[in-house]
Chains A and B, each alone.
Chain A
Amino acid sequence: MKQAAFESLHVSEWSAFERLLENDPRAPLRGADFPRLYRRVCQHLALARDRAYGPDLVDRLNALALRGHRVLYGAEGMRRNQLAEFFLRRLPLMVREELPLVLTAALLFFGPFALVALALQRYPDFVAYLLSPHELADLQRMYDPANPHPGMRPADSNVLMFAFYIWNNVKIGFQTFAGGMLLGLGTIFYLVLNGLQIGAAAGYLTQIGYGVPFWSFVAGHSAPELTAIVLSGAAGLRLGAALIAPGRLTRRAALTAAARRAVQLVYGAAALFTIAAFVEAFWSPVGFVPAQIKYAVGASLWSALLAYLALVGGRHAR
C-alpha cells in the first residue's frame, strides 16, 4: 500500500485519537474509545516502520503512541488517603525494615556527639578545634541564663527562626541523603560533622555552666530533629550500600531500586524536620516555662516518636 493511501485510509482514526488525548485528564482514560484507538495507532506505527513510510508519518504515529502510552500506563492509582497510608503504615514499616541502616546512621551521628560532649567536660580547651571564637561568643550570648528567650539572639523573631530552621536544617537533611551517591561517603561525612558540631556546642555550654538553658531549649525539638537527621542518613546509606554491594542486580538497577525505598525515608525526614522547626521556633525559646516542664515535653516527644516508629503499621511489609 502506498503511503498516501495508507494515510487517507486511517487519518480519521488518528485525529479521533488526538482529540481524545486533548480531553479532560480526569476522565477515566479520556474516553471509552481510548483503548481501541490506542491499539490501532500502535498497529499503524508498526506497519509504517515496517513499510518504511516517510519519517514525518512515522514521527507523528510515534508521538501519538507515546502520548497514548503515557495516559494508559501512567495513570495514577485511584487509592485515596495516600498521605494517611504513608504515615500510618509505610513510613514506620520502612524504618523497621531498614533498621540496620537506621541504627548505623544513629551511631554515626550520636557516637561523635556523645564523644565530643563528654570529652569537653574533661578537656575544655579542645573546643577551640571544633568551633570558631565567633561561634563560641554567639553560643554564649544565646544561652546566657539571663537571656529571656534562650536559643535566640535579641534581634531574632520566631517566624524568622522558623524559616531559617526550614531553610537550613532541611537542606542539611537533603544533602545528607544526596551524599549517599558518593558511595555513602557524603552521608557519613555529614552525619559525623553534624554530630561533632552539635556535640561541641552541647559539651561547651554544659562545661561553662549554661547547661540548663541549653538542654531545656533543645529538649523539645530534639526528638523530631535528630530522628530526621538519622532518617536522612539511613536513606543516604541505602543508596551507598546499593552502589557498593548491588547483590544480584546491576549497579544501576540496584541504585534505582534503593532510591525508590530511600526517598520514602526522606519524605519522613522532611516531615519531621518541619515539626522540629515549628517546635524549635515557637516552643523551645519560650523563657518563662520551667526547665523541668521542657524536659518532660522533650521526653514525651521522644517516647511518642520512638513508639510510633516501633509499633505503628502492623508487621507486614510490602
Chain B
Amino acid sequence: MVLDTAHEVPTPEGIDIELRPAGPMARASAWLVDLLLRLGILITIWITAGLLGKFGLALTLLSAFFLEWLIPAWCEVRWNGATPGKKALGLMVVHDDGTPVRWPAALTRNLLRAVDFLPLLYLFGFVAMCLGRDFKRLGDHAAGTLVVFRPALGGSHDVPPAAALAPARALSLAEQRAIVDFAERSTALTADRAAELAEIAEPLVGTARGAAATERLIGIANYLLGRQ
C-alpha cells in the first residue's frame, strides 16, 4: 500500500520485521509532555535550591544543562528507547535496523535538536519529517534512528461485537487490516458515512446496502479477529 508508512527491517533470518514510524503529531505530544516534565523538575529544583543561595543557583544551572542536553539521551539509552513523554505516548527510539538505540546515536539525535528547532519551534524538524517516508527529523537522519510506535501485542481492538461472518473470499493481510480498522472506526462515524464506506467493499457485502452493509463488514471483522 502506497499510503502505508510501515518501515520494514529485513533480518538475517530472512523475514521482514515491521516498524510503525510515529508522525509529527504523536512526537510533538511526547515532546510537550517531556517539556512540561522538564519545566516542572527545574522549577522545583529552583525553588528548593533557592534556599541554598548561590550554591542553589549553581545546582539549578547544572540541572538545566543536564535536563536539556543529556538526560533525554540517557533515558533513551537506558529506558528502552523512551523518554517519559515517549513512554506516555507509546513511542520508542530505535536504530534504523530496529535494534535498541545506544549512546552515539542517542547523543547525536539529542544534540542535533538544536538545528531541528530552528528557526523556531522545530520548523526544520517538521519540514524534514514531512519530506521523508519515515518521519525523521534532521537529528534522526544523522543518527540513523527512527521513532516508532511500541509494537502492540495484538488483541486490544474496539471492534463492536457482532455475529462472526466468514468473508466470501480469501483476504490479504492488508485487506484484513483495512476491514478491522473500519470496524473500529465505525462507532465514531455517522451511520450514513459508515454505510457509504462499507458499500465500497462490494465483493464482501454483495447486494447489501446501507446499515446492512456496515453490519456485514463488522461481522467479517469479528470473524477475522477470531471471535467465532
Contacts of B170 in A (CB 8 A): 52
Do B98 and A70 have beta carbons less than 8 Å apart? yes
Q: Which of B55, B62, B115, B141 contacts A167 (CB 8 A)?
A: B62
**Does residue B34 face the partner (Cβ distance < 8 Å to A)?**
no
Closest chain B CB from A4 CB (angstroms): 7
Total number of A residues with any Cβ neighbor in B under 8 Å = 58
Which of chain B's residues 105-156 have a Cβ closer than 8 Å to chain A?
Answer: 107-108, 111-115, 118, 138, 141-144, 151-155
Q: How far is the CA of A159 from the CA of B19 in the complex (A)?
A: 47
Q: Tell me if A178 and B111 are in contact (CB < 8 A).
A: yes
B143 lies within 8 A of A256 (CB): yes
CB contacts (< 8 Å) of B108 on chain A: these are 259-260, 262-263
Q: Is the CB of B111 within 8 A of A177?
A: yes
B17 at the interface (CB under 8 A from A): yes
Taken residue by residue from 186 to 206, chain A's Cβ proximity to chain B (1 for < 8 Å, 0 otherwise) reads as 100000000000000000000
* Docked complex Cα distance between A167 and B59 (Å): 11
Q: Quick check: A62 and B151 within 8 Å, CB to CB?
A: yes
B14 close to chain A: CB less than 8 A? yes
Inside 8 A of A55's CB, which chain B residues have their CB? 154, 173, 176-177, 180, 224
A101 located at the interface, meaning its Cβ lies under 8 Å from any Cβ of chain B in the complex:
no
A69 interface neighbour in B98, B138, B173, B176, Cβ under 8 Å: B98
A46-B14 contact given A178-B115, A181-B115, A266-B107, CB 8 Å threshold = yes
10 contacts between A and B (CB under 8 A): A43-B13, A54-B224, A55-B177, A69-B98, A159-B58, A171-B69, A175-B114, A239-B142, A256-B143, A266-B107
Besides A66-B19, A263-B108, 9 other CB < 8 A contacts? A39-B13, A54-B176, A63-B151, A69-B98, A74-B95, A160-B61, A171-B65, A179-B115, A258-B142
**Residues of chain A whose beta carbon lies under 8 Å from any beta carbon of chain B:** 3-4, 38-39, 42-43, 45-46, 49, 52, 54-60, 62-63, 65-67, 69-70, 73-74, 76, 156-157, 159-160, 162-164, 166-167, 170-171, 174-175, 177-179, 181-182, 186, 239, 252, 255-256, 258-260, 262-264, 266-267
